[in-house]
A and B are shown apart, each in its own frame.
Chain A
Amino acid sequence: MITKDAEAPTVTSAPRTVLEAFGPRRPKKRQRSWDEVPRRQIYLPLGVYLVFTLIPFYWIALFALRPAGSTSLVPWPVTFEHFDKVWTERSFGTYFQNSVLIGVATLVMTTVVALAGGYALARFDFRLKRGFMLALLCSQFVPGALLLVPLFEIFANLEMINSLGSVIIAETVFQLPLSMILIGNFIKNVPPSLEEAAWVDGCSRFRAFCVVVLPLLRPGLIAVGSFAFVHSWNHFLFALMFLSDQGKQTIPVGLNTLMSADSVDLGALAAGGIVAAVPVVIVFAFIQKWLITGFSAGAVKG
């Protein structure tokens, strides 16, 4: 019950209030009726920007769907030969599985570890807190790309080179700091009195957290989790460096292999790109409204 009450206003009413802010004032006629933003001032720039956004998508779809060698600007007749080829011959089927595995494992690990740490940051005062916060912020400036060599050595010592585990750990570690700060801020926004009420009713701290706090964190968890998934799905360098076995590689590495071939098979490349894009675009379309409320509630402050 509490969940619905808390979520509903942020999700549905927030955007609408802009209209309320500008709309009802019009009758005052202080200025001409254009006090409200004229439609063309919205649609014109939006349209221009949409063209810029969508042409690249159209272009890759065009190459993926039209037969090899065609120069038509319309992908008709549609062919799926490139997808067949890329999925089986270029083993994108395997890459896809690996990428999904890495993405889901990173999502779960990041969320669980960040929840624990974020809860500690939000609800406790402890001696190392300031130092820990500082470490979290500083780690934002540590470029994963520049740590490739020492990371490679660590994973080699752990005998984890060529195992998906190395990439999962590396992705999680670099997702953690920001996720933890965000989740900590989300938890701070949940009044402690709700939890305390549950304790009085006899819940343990853990149970109170699961029953009272967790449901309220849903937008935040969706934002953080999807961020972790999309990021690890997209990330390229760790997989490139730590996974040399062809059967262990991920979609971005597969794409890079296709791209750096001597004679690039543009159709296969485009089809591979679509395979890479579809899951994230679907995830993204699905969670979009959560993402905006999620970020605004957890916006990093102080």
Chain B
Amino acid sequence: MAQAAAVAKKPPPAKRPRRRAGAGRTGATPRRLPYLLIAPAALLMLGFIAYPVISVFYYSLQHYNPTKPWRNGFAGLDNFTRAFTEDPLFWDTLAFSAKWVFVEVGLQLLFGLALALIVNQTFAGRALGRALVFSPWAVSGVLTSVIWVLLYNSQTGITRYLADLGIGAYGTSWLSDPGTVFPAAIVADLWRGVPFFAILILADLQSVPKDLYEAAEVDGASRLRQFLHITLPHLKDAIILSTLLRMVWEFNNVDLLYTLTGGGPAGETTTLPLYVATTSVEAHDFGYASALTTVAFVVLLFCSVLYLRLSKFGGDDK
């Protein structure tokens, strides 16, 4: 009996591994596999994105300032009331953020689209032209600042040579004049932002079916109409998505303005995130900074949803 039992028991262990391998082949893999595969990413994101976000929400309801420990404690909505009613800087920086994002992304899209359409044509020297035109894409915000600080410098910058030619005055410093700092910073950021857009749009241009153009041409459509009725509709989703990502990115991007203008002169170019950074890092007012961050989240989320709704993203498929 015992022997028989042993014999009877033996086959299953030998079978099981085979069944597992077979299961893999038919696609009915162990249910755990996908979870194992996303586990590293999920853990990293839980620990270093989700947890910090939750702690920001938590701190936004607290007075939390390591330099003033006697005030620490539950604050209710104090931090938010302070932002909305008592802090003119909050509204200023929010307004500047909106202006910055709107102008910057709008111009980037315009020039990026034009650039992509140009370098998508066939012409002699196209490879070199593309490489040169796209090269600032890889340049960092800090390096962009370095370059434009050199260009805008009143003593050694381009203004001095322009003044030699009779354009403008000597000693003009675009970055320290409240009247010119905005366009000056916009141009500096455009310099590296346009190639990014152009690359994304150029990538998408490759997938426009060529026979559509041929058909349009047979029908006698002009190049402008081909652009309006074939190219643009085809690029629509790509444009919407890259614009949205870029808007979020430009809103959050601190590197360039932090190093180029430091938010100055006189707070003229302080975006909301830059204001948050200085509030938390320099003033150590983490509770208030967290409340501002929370507001920034909500604003971003609201604008994104609104944008996707208004632009009817992906609406053609549904």
CB within 8 Å of A: which B36-88 residues:
37-38, 40-42, 44-45, 47-53, 55-56, 59
The answer to whether A145 touches B41, judged by C-beta atoms less than 8 angstroms apart, is: no
Flag if A277 contacts B56 (CB, 8 Å): no
Residues of B within 8 A of A280 (CB): 138-140
A113 touches B220 (CB 8 A): no
Q: Determine if A270 is an interface residue (Cβ-Cβ < 8 Å).
A: yes
* Contact, CB under 8 Å: B45 / A57: no
Does A222 interact with chain B (Cβ within 8 Å)? no
- Separation of A255 and B142 alpha carbons in the complex (Å): 7
Could you say which residues of chain A place their CB within 8 Å of the CB of B223?
A: 35, 37
B293 within 8 A of A: yes
A21 touches B214 (CB 8 A): yes
Contacting pair B248 A141 (CB below 8 A): yes
**Nearest Cβ on chain B to A16's Cβ, whole angstroms:** 7
Stretch among A75-83, A210-218, A294-302 lining the B interface: A294-302
The proximity string for B residues 237-260 relative to A, scoring 1 for CB distances below 8 Å and 0 otherwise, is: 110010001001001111100110
Contact of B310 with A by CB under 8 A: no
Q: How far is the CA of A233 from the CA of B138 in the complex (A)?
A: 10
A173–B146 touching, CB < 8 Å: no
For B, the interface residue count at a CB cutoff of 8 angstroms equals 106
Q: Are A236 and B255 in contact (CB under 8 A)?
A: yes
Give the distance in Å from the alpha carbon of A301 to the alpha carbon of B236 in the complex. 12
A147-175 vs B, CB cutoff 8 Å, 1 = contact: the mask equals 11111011000000000000001101110
Query: A117, B37: Cβ atoms under 8 Å?
Result: yes
Q: How far is the CA of A11 from the CA of B94 in the complex (A)?
A: 44
Question: A234 at interface (Cβ–Cβ under 8 A)?
Answer: yes
Interface size on A, residues (CB 8 A): 113
B275 CB to nearest chain A CB (Å): 11
Interchain CB contact under 8 A, B220 and A144: no
Q: Which of A22, A141, A143, A241 contacts B273 (CB 8 A)?
A: A143
Chief secondary structure at chain A's binding surface: helix
**From B33, B126, B220, B297, contact of A124 by CB (8 A):** B33
Decide if A293 is an interface residue (CB 8 Å cutoff): yes
A102 at the interface (CB under 8 A from B): no
With A147-B49, A149-B289 known to touch, is A199 a contact of B37 (CB < 8 Å)? no
Neighbour of A37 across the interface among B121, B252, B281, CB < 8 A: B121
- Is B90 in the interface zone, CB < 8 Å from A? no
Interface string of B125-154 (1 = CB under 8 A from A): 010011111111111111101111111010
B254 and A154 contacting across the interface, CB-CB below 8 Å? no
Q: How far is the CA of A16 from the CA of B37 in the complex (A)?
A: 39
What's the minimum C-beta distance from A30 to chain B, rounded to whole angstroms? Answer: 6
- The verdict on B180 contacting chain A, using a C-beta distance below 8 Å, is no
Q: How far is the CA of A114 from the CA of B273 in the complex (A)?
A: 28
Supply 18 further A-B pairs (C-beta < 8 A) apart from A148-B280, A285-B131.
Answer: A35-B217, A43-B123, A46-B133, A50-B132, A55-B151, A120-B38, A140-B245, A147-B53, A150-B59, A173-B48, A234-B139, A234-B255, A235-B140, A252-B255, A269-B146, A273-B146, A281-B139, A299-B238
The 7 A-B pairs of least Cβ separation, nearest first, read A234-B140, A143-B252, A150-B52, A120-B37, A295-B203, A296-B203, A124-B34
The contact sample of 10 A-B pairs, CB cut-off 8 A, is A18-B122, A46-B119, A53-B136, A205-B33, A230-B138, A236-B141, A264-B149, A281-B139, A288-B130, A299-B207
